[in-house]
A and B are shown apart, each in its own frame.
Chain A
């Protein structure tokens, strides 16, 4: 199946700094990628849809200026947490759709996630 990578897998930063998380589709192209946030023992909350070559679409309640998304190529989307604070500490997961042979829909392939800890 298609592979999605994320980098870094873990990051610890000081409050007030910015952190960039990369999401790459390794063996397929993705014009759309999705960013999720997952709190401990909770479900995945969709934050935004990353669109190659255009602005990201944010879900209601997600601060656009706090979570900057850039989808500069067909295989790379980045999420930058700006001026991070302890409440931004979470597990961030990206996904990218790819259509398996014979299927009529785009299956989501998930990255392994990035654990962000803001001190």
Chain B
């Protein structure tokens, strides 16, 4: 079984500043994938960034990057140059590379970008 833990229920950041959201996970799988999803007030789940566990290089997508520490089972999300549109719930999630495609979500971090 996989578990995903997000220990920051709420965070805030000034516009244009940088913020880091924390996530730890636990899995018995040897290969898996990790994700950060964004859920804005519209409630539509949007994939922000993905990381394949077998890749050592941290994933980057424009202003979003991750710090993937496999040994520590840590997967934090860094948002640079925060924008008002980044205000949303952020969910860390994991997916086993095996045949079963269930995604396990953390409880989420509510991020507020302050103008």
Contact = CB atoms under 8 A, between A and B. Distances in A.
Interface of A: 32, 34, 38, 41-44, 46, 49, 91, 93, 95, 97, 104-108, 110, 112-113, 115
Contact of B103 (A91, A108, A112, A115): A108
Contact of B47 (A44, A104, A107): A107
A116 to B, nearest CB: 13
A44 B91 contact: yes
Given A44-B91, A113-B44, A104 B106 contact: no
Interface in B52-97: 52, 89, 91, 95, 97
Contacts of A91: 43
Interface residues of B, number: 20
A110 B45 contact: yes
A46 B4 CA distance: 14
A113 B42 CA distance: 9
A41 B43 CA distance: 11
Contacts of B97: 104-105
B107 interface: yes
A44 B105 contact: yes
B90 to A, nearest CB: 11
Given A105-B33, A107-B50, A112-B43, A49 B102 contact: yes
B111 to A, nearest CB: 13
14 contacts: A34-B102, A34-B103, A38-B43, A42-B107, A43-B107, A43-B108, A44-B91, A46-B103, A93-B45, A95-B103, A105-B52, A110-B44, A112-B43, A115-B43
In the complex, which of the residues B33, B42, B45, B91 has the most CB atoms of chain A within 10 Å of its own CB atom? B45
A42 to B, nearest CB: 7
A91 B45 CA distance: 12
B97 to A, nearest CB: 6
Nearest to A46: B102
Interface in B21-45: 33, 42-45
